[in-house]
Amino acid sequence: MTKDRVLIFDTTLRDGEQSPGATMTHAEKLEIAELLDEMGVDIIEAGFPIASEGDFKAVSEIARLAKTSTICGLARANYKDIDRCWEAVKHAKSPRIHTFIGTSPLHRAIPNLNMDEMAERIHDTVTHARNLCDNVQWSPMDATRTEWDYLCRVVEIAIKAGATTINIPDTVGYTAPVESAELIRNLIATVPGADEVIFATHCHNDLGMATANSLAAVEGGARQIECTINGLGERAGNTALEEVVMALKVRGDIMPYETGIDTTKIMNISRRVAAVSGFAVQFNKAIVGKNAFAHESGIHQDGMLKNAETFEIMRPADVGLSGTSLPLGKHSGRAALRAKLNELGFDDLADNQLKDVFVRFKDLADRKKEVFDDDLLALMHQNSGDEDRLKLKSLRVVCGTEGPQTADMVMEIDGTDVKTSATGDGPVDATFNAVKALFPHGARLQLYQVQAVTEGTDAQATVSVRMEEEGRIATGQSADTDTVVASAKAYINALNRLLVRREQSEPGYDVKGVSYKDR
């Protein structure tokens, strides 16, 4: 049986980053883009160039650095957005402009356009985009709630204007699999010129059906799936790349389609996206969750020992998961560390990088009896902090059953060491109060979450902190064997991200201008 090729369009850096608090730094965006390129993603939607100068720079640099992936930018249906998008992607070996407009009755009301006025705008803007770039994607936002006759009309207009890919978004996760398949199938059968373009599907997960809807759309004739790593995205998220790719791989008997994804790289990029976004992967998440290949039931364990296929439909190695988790210790050398890191997917470390990691590994091994795979992953994903404006230098906490608890802290702010002592209702509260005393700010704590990396009383704790300031949201994350230290680092990490966001939206803003005093 010949297998059709399904293109994988990853929008982690655009739609995924729109999740409240999931904002990534410039360096992190470049890193994720490189990982996507290496794993065989066909199209990377690198960002929304008109949104900010930071977004434009990230898309532009990703376009220059990409080796094999098509690099795409998003643009609303106006000339200014499209021109800015083209400026950002034009240096890519394979550039694409993705322009969109909301076509459902609810979305048409936003720009206050009637059907004819919107149809004219679609024609003009797609034509403009095609005059700039040979590869143009067009999306009728909220397509699944758009009147059928009008959807056919605007899709035909976009095709005639030069769109090479027609994406049909289920913007609010409203549709169901049978509808998803029928919608694509009927568009291809009804719209003149539909056989000359690629149809794509973009599904949100509001009703938990994003993956099913995407696969159904492929059955209906779509040959591009838009998705994100870990299903990251607004509200309940987008279709998860790892789910559709592995579904096509495992069930090729009933879905004769293939992708160009190197599935052995899935776990590494999943962990990295979780780390930089601050959105932890739930334990029971399909494919990449911590428990996805765990078996605790006696019947399951007995079956697994006799034949792994009894309860596993895919091998852990298929998604890049090590089959063993033998720990290292303080007596382990660099060769053992390098071998383990290679096994975990970090096979391109330079000697100076390994030297830095080895120092941090030894420090961790001195505090932990055994260093497991998850400990090393947490270590590798720690922010070096070299470019951070705020840094934790030292922390001493006094706590117990009798309060108040006290935190003595030294921070470095723009190269200057400042110190204070603060109290609070518990050690974490005292620590956060110390940070705020040294660096006054108006950010509000939205989320504080602690998760053990491994088992045992000496386990590292991964702390996630989400903060909001004047509509800007940032997430910080850190891991340490001391939960309070991890909390302090995560809190400071979130503040550093807020500063980056403020600098992007308020050029010239300088942290040095914020008043603080030695205490």
Residue ranges for the known binding site for Mn(2+) are 15, 202, 204, 238
| Pairing status of strand 461-469 against strand 136-141 | unpaired
Q: Return the ∠ at Cα 287 (arms to 281 and 290), rounded to 5°.
A: 45
CB neighbours of residue 207 within 10 Å: 15
Contact 169, 141 (CB under 8 A): yes
Q: How far apart are CA 451 and CA 124, in angstroms?
A: 51
H-assigned helices in 368-482: 373-380, 427-438
Q: At what angle do helices 351-367 and 373-380 cross, to 10 degrees?
A: 130
Contact 453, 459 (CB under 8 A): yes
**Amino acid sitting at position 247:** A
CA 379 to chain centre: 19
User: Cβ-count burial of 63 within 10 angstroms (0-12 exposed, 13-18 middle, 19+ buried)?
Assistant: buried
Q: Reduce the DSSP state of residue 228 to 3 states and report it.
A: strand
CA 339 to chain centre: 28
Q: Which two tokens stand for residue 268?
A: 């590494």
Q: Which two tokens stand for residue 218?
A: 């492929």
- Angstrom distances, CA of residue 277 to CA of 14, 29, 137, 386: 12, 10, 27, 19
Binding-site annotation, residues: 15, 202, 204, 238
Q: Return the ∠ at Cα 316 (arms to 477 and 299), rounded to 5°.
A: 105
Q: Which of 101, 139, 135, 106 is nearest to 120 (CA)?
A: 101
